Structures are given as C-alpha cells and as structure tokens.
Structure 1
Amino acid sequence: MKEPEDMILPLLREIRSDIQEVRVEMRERLDKLESSQKTIRQALTADTMMSKFVTGDFEEASSSWNARWKR
C-alpha cells in the first residue's frame, strides 16, 4: 500500500484537471450569456428605433443612437 504522502501529488494533479474542465465549461456558459445579453440589447435598441420612427421622432432618435455608437 502506498504511503499517504505518495498519494498527495497524484490527487492534486487529478483535482487540477477537474478544475480545468470546470473552468472551460464555465467560460463557455459565460460566453453564451454575454452573447444573449448582446442580442437582447440590440433587440431593445431596434424596438426603440422602430417606435421612434413610427411616431415621427426618428431624426432625433437617429442622432442620439449615432452618438452612443461612436463612443
């Protein structure tokens, strides 16, 4: 039977690989969330622009929108 001190390094290596797998999974999930947030923001902007266009405030909204995107 191995001594406890001989088992520590292999255990730490195993833990390290498990943590790496979790980090990769979390990164993928975070990227997916960020992409969804960006899509929602774009949809809200488009909806606002369409509403302003329909109500006749398009010119004012257009200049405001352009100013935001130039930042």
Structure 2
Amino acid sequence: MDLNNVTWIKSSFSGDNGGDCVEVAKLGDTTGHPDLVAVRDSKDPEGPKLFFSPAGWDTFLGGVKTGRFDIG
C-alpha cells in the first residue's frame, strides 16, 4: 500500500526531544483504503505499520486511555 500521500500526525504526548513517538494517519481515498487508520514509529517511518478499522481504533484508544496496555 502506498502511504506517501497520507498526512502523518505525531502524538500530542510525544515531545521534541527525540523520544518514543508514534504517528497516526487516517488513510484517504488515494490509498484505496479510506476507512483504515495507520500507526507507525516516527523514528522508523519506513518500518512496520499497524492498521486499524475505525471500530478497532476506538477500542485501542479506549484501552490506552484506561491504562490497559501499561507495562512496568
């Protein structure tokens, strides 16, 4: 899938100090998958990406907000 024309948005929790950052893009009609949400590591933009359906994205965000995925 060609993601060159999507707009990636850096997490508001990511600082400008080069720390752990994630970026999110809502895929548009140019990708052929307008309903998907993509997530990538901003330090490795050519690396692997995760793709979520809108419902999956909402579920994932809900889990993040409640601390479901906290480790340590």
Q: Does TM, scored on the shorter chain, surpass 0.5?
A: no
Q: Look at both structures and tell me which one has the larger radius of gyration over its CA atoms.
A: 1
With a CA cutoff of 8 Å and minimum separation of 6, indicate the structure with the bigger relative contact order. 2
TM-score (norm 2): 0.26
Q: Which has the higher strand share?
A: 2
